[in-house]
Structure 1
Amino acid sequence: MAKYMLIMRGTDESIAAMMEMPFEQMLETMGRINDEMIRAGVLLAAEGLEDPSQGVVVDFSGETPVVTDGPYGETKELFGGFYLLDVATKEEAVEWAKRLPRIPGTKCEVRRVPTIDEFPQDNEWIIRERAWRERTGQL
């Protein structure tokens, strides 16, 4: 099995359209797919994000970090939330992504999450992280 992140992306327009949906309807729509993933045993985590206007951006382009309030100016797509799945293949992750609610203007990026075992095991920082994961029950 492998972990895949389904990264939900929308535009200002698609996020505004989603916000116009009655809250109970949105909960039911998302609840149905969440329930399917839970029953299939593939869902590890899922979270949506607050409205982009409530966020900030820390820009590292210059010599010192610059913090600006959202929304994010020139950004064409906004990260709106994610699902973290434990599935056998990328194809299976894509099949789950295709079942997500269809909101015009949104996209879902599917990316594999490498495991700690894929990094050099003799590296000091990997050793520290592995110990932390063991202490916190994440390994």
Structure 2
Amino acid sequence: MRVMVLVKATEGSEKGFLHTTEEMEMMEAMGRFNDELRKAGILRDGDGLKPSSHGKRVAFDGPGRTVIDGPFAATRELVAGFWLWEVKDMDEAVAWVKRCPNPMLGPSEIEIRPLYEMADLQ
């Protein structure tokens, strides 16, 4: 089972990486966690995303397209980073997320979403 593991953004992550001692320690802890995921054969891909101020959205309405520049509102609904994992089931994904160091300096959330497989579409 493939899952996308989404690290939700916070006000802090939307400020960008500031290279503070706390942030550097957090990144080192995340690096060790990523190493564990790799050794377990679970990690397929993953990375952090720059703040939404660096991003753009394209809104679709029929044939029309509108480009919207960041930053975007509703910070808690934004994604700050992601992993793509291959796990046996959702329980295994939850168990791994529970082992994850806090990805932010304060309260944070991680969302796990299964990807569609070909069997789901037939």
Same fold (TM over 0.5): yes
TM-score (norm 1): 0.72
The 3 A distance-change label for structure 1 pair 106 and 61 is farther
Q: Which amino acid aligns with 1:108?
A: I
Unaligned runs of 5+ in 2: none
Confirm whether residue 33 of structure 1 aligns to residue 33 of structure 2. Answer: yes
Confirm whether residue 117 of structure 1 aligns to residue 115 of structure 2. Answer: no
CA contact (8 A) 1:6 1:109 kept: yes
CA contact (8 A) 2:57 2:67 kept: yes
1:112, 1:74 → 2: CA distance? 23
Confirm whether residue 97 of structure 1 aligns to residue 97 of structure 2. Answer: yes
The 3 A distance-change label for structure 1 pair 53 and 37 is same
Q: In the TM superposition, what whole-angstrom CA distance separates every residue of 1:49-85 from its partner, at most 9, and x where no partner exists? A: 1221110111225862211110113454211111111
How many residues end up aligned between the 2 structures? 118
1:14 corresponds to which residue? Answer: 12
CA contact (8 A) 2:16 2:51 kept: no
Hey, which of these two has a bigger chunk of helix by percent? 1
Confirm whether residue 86 of structure 1 aligns to residue 86 of structure 2. Answer: yes
Structure of greater relative contact order (alpha carbons < 8 Å, 6+ residues apart): 2
Residue 98 (structure 1) shift: 1.6
SS in 1 for 2:101: coil
TM-score (norm 2): 0.80
1:75, 1:49 → 2: CA distance? 13
The 3 A distance-change label for structure 1 pair 105 and 60 is farther
CA contact (8 A) 2:8 2:76 kept: no
1:29, 1:55 → 2: CA distance? 27
RMSD of aligned residue pairs (Cα, Å): 2.3
Structure with the greater alpha carbon radius of gyration: 1
2:15, 2:107 → 1: CA distance? 9
The 3 A distance-change label for structure 1 pair 44 and 118 is same
Unaligned runs of 5+ in 1: 121-139
- Identity within the alignment, %: 35
